[in-house]
Structure 1
Amino acid sequence: MDIVLYALTALLYGGLALSGWYAHRQDGAQLMPAHVPSLPSRSGSVPDLGVSGRIMLLAALLTHGVLLHVTIFPQNAMVFGFAFALSAMFWLGVGIYWIESFFFPLDGLQLLLLPLACVASLLPLAFGGVRVLPYSAAPLFKLHFLIANVAYGLFAIAALHAILMLLVERRLHAMHGGALQLQGRAAGNGWLSGWLDTLPPLLTLEKLLFRLIGAGFVLLTLTLLSGILFNEQLAGRALVLDHKTVFALLSWLMFGALLTARKVSGWRGRAALRWVLASFVALLLAYVGSRFVFEVLMHHPVI
């Protein structure tokens, strides 16, 4: 049963990703001008998913969700690891993309997000050596686990947005350098330039970015609070300053500082985007990174 869900999830994500890239390449070939203009132009587009595409993406999300449930919670137990965390992150990321695409023109993002989700959904097949949690049935732990993974998913998609915004901003600066400079860049990175042209405007990406970070920060705060309560219930100590806790608190402080600076002074631009990525790296190290070291490098699966 599990292998069927793995295959179906990968086929749905992969099929949609290939369809999007094929449509983009076809449009790019038809719209490619004979000369390189001095002003930005759309060298290709990604058609809207349409009704059938949205239904297929919803089917992929449902299949992926069922897969996560049956593999993480087998027979009233719980199995988890860094591969499951990444798979859950991208499942949530695609879910956010699917919902937000009804309100924002985000079609170009599917070219990046869906291939990553396809790969992430298969990772537990290769890295499945995790320990079953004896306390997984505790209601407080289940609440903590759910909130934490939703928060991680929000920050994962926010980090992808930040990377895309840095690429788009770099391309715009290159375009302002003149036609010859643009021509030289296009010759070496034509596919990348054409794909960046399909993305929403920077202001749209920025608005969505800070919506994601704001929601993620609230959930990360609740994650830390529920973790403290659960640790008090389980071990009799409210806070254990291990590597996971230290990096989680550091990430919380960094995202909080970013939102404060945004609110007070309207902080934006490359420095803000790099701060987003640094904050996400700290969060990644708090859980996924530490689990990767224990499970893969040290062959010692722990929670």
Structure 2
Amino acid sequence: MILSFGPDAAPSSAIAWALAMPTLAALAGYLFAAFLGETREAALRGALLAGWLSHALAIVIDITGVGAGSGETGARFGFAPALSVTMWLVLAVYAVESRFVPLTGVRRTLALLGGAVVVLAWLFPGEFRPNAVSRWAPLHWVLGIASYGLFGAAVLHGAMLNRAELQMRQRAATAPPSGMPLLRLERLTFRFVGAGFVMLSAALLLGAWFANPWRWDHKTVLSMLGWVIFAALLAGRRAFGWRGPQATRWLYGGAALLLLAYVGSRFVFEILLQRAPPT
């Protein structure tokens, strides 16, 4: 939801290109991390870290309003900025977790996705808003994007869990490709789901509190449906011991609804309808 530097953000082309350097550096770092050989572990980690740090700097530029072309501070909103921040958070989880356990088979995919969202956020910088509709709105935005990142991490772990179970059933490997025991990977998946559910619940409560008037628009309805799906998943896990493909199907469904709620609705307004969405 927050931030993205776009090519139209600064009045001077020289300033624009200077502000674009973190974006270009992030793209270069992610591409190096995606295509370097697996044997060059130190270079891989360095490239991914450089991309991630540059990505963070591009985000900070937008949050401080440097790329807005005015002296006002604010934040950018749009489908591409939302994807950018979400992917940055997922990469942060991966970077920390991979220091302790080998998460094989996902590095290239994550790096390519990181590069893709950086380019999207640069091409489609979204809408700059210097003022929040409420003093609680920034907290609502932070909680919402944090829930996106946590659910994104849960989806990543759910995908690794599904692949590990498939390989074990096919007797193609004796250990999960993530390098973690299946039960540990499953527990981590649900911990991310639980943390994301708490963040999403808080974001929805804050949004309902300061919204005036309350609107049952596409974003609200899809967000509430996503909340219901995740609540059912956690309840089913606790009451009936849901696990494996049954649990991940609910996880993917809830994540898809959340993605459609904000990213999907903003995409329709920004790209298809080409008009600003309602505040």
With structure 2 as the length reference, what TM-score do the two structures score? 0.81
**Cα contact 2:134–2:210 (8 A) shared by 1:** no
**Cα contact 1:72–1:80 (8 A) shared by 2:** no
Q: Which has the higher contact order (CA 8 A, sep 6+)?
A: 1
Return the alpha-carbon distance in structure 2 between the equivalents of residues 207 and 113 of structure 1: 21
Return the alpha-carbon distance in structure 1 between the equivalents of residues 35 and 245 of structure 2: 31
The structural deviation recorded for 1:68 is: 1.4
- Report what 2:13 is aligned to: none
- Report what 2:50 is aligned to: 59
Return the alpha-carbon distance in structure 2 between the equivalents of residues 204 and 10 of structure 1: 33
- Report what 2:109 is aligned to: 112
**Cα contact 1:83–1:124 (8 A) shared by 2:** yes
Which amino acid in the other structure matches residue 94 of structure 1? Answer: L
The structural deviation recorded for 1:161 is: 2.4
Return the alpha-carbon distance in structure 2 between the equivalents of residues 174 and 293 of structure 1: 42
> Which of 87, 93, 96 is equivalent to 2:93?
96
Counting aligned pairs with the same residue, the percent is 36
Which amino acid in the other structure matches residue 115 of structure 1? Answer: L
Does 2:262 align with 1:266?
A: no
Report SS of the residue matched to 1:79. strand
* Bigger helix share: 1
Return the alpha-carbon distance in structure 2 between the equivalents of residues 132 and 54 of structure 1: 34
> Which of 48, 65, 68 is equivalent to 2:59?
68
- Report what 1:161 is aligned to: 157
The structural deviation recorded for 1:166 is: 2.5
- Report what 1:174 is aligned to: 170
- Report what 1:126 is aligned to: 123
CA-atom RMSD, angstroms? 2.4
Unaligned runs of 5+ in 1: 25-46, 176-181, 183-192
The structural deviation recorded for 1:265 is: 2.3
Task: Name the CA shift for 1:266/1:79 in 2 (closer, same or farther; >3 Å).
Answer: same
Q: What is the aligned length?
A: 253
- Report what 2:182 is aligned to: 202
Unaligned runs of 5+ in 2: 1-17, 66-71
Task: Name the CA shift for 1:222/1:270 in 2 (closer, same or farther; >3 Å).
Answer: same
- Report what 1:279 is aligned to: 254
Which amino acid in the other structure matches residue 250 of structure 2? Answer: W
Task: Name the CA shift for 1:3/1:288 in 2 (closer, same or farther; >3 Å).
Answer: same
> Which of 180, 196, 220 is equivalent to 1:245?
220
With structure 1 as the length reference, what TM-score do the two structures score? 0.75
Computing the radius of gyration over CA atoms, which structure comes out larger, 1 or 2?
1
Q: 1:43-94 CA distances to partner (integer Å, 9 max, x unpaired)?
A: xxxx7x55x6545544333221120122354240322100000000000000
Return the alpha-carbon distance in structure 1 between the equivalents of residues 156 and 180 of structure 2: 14
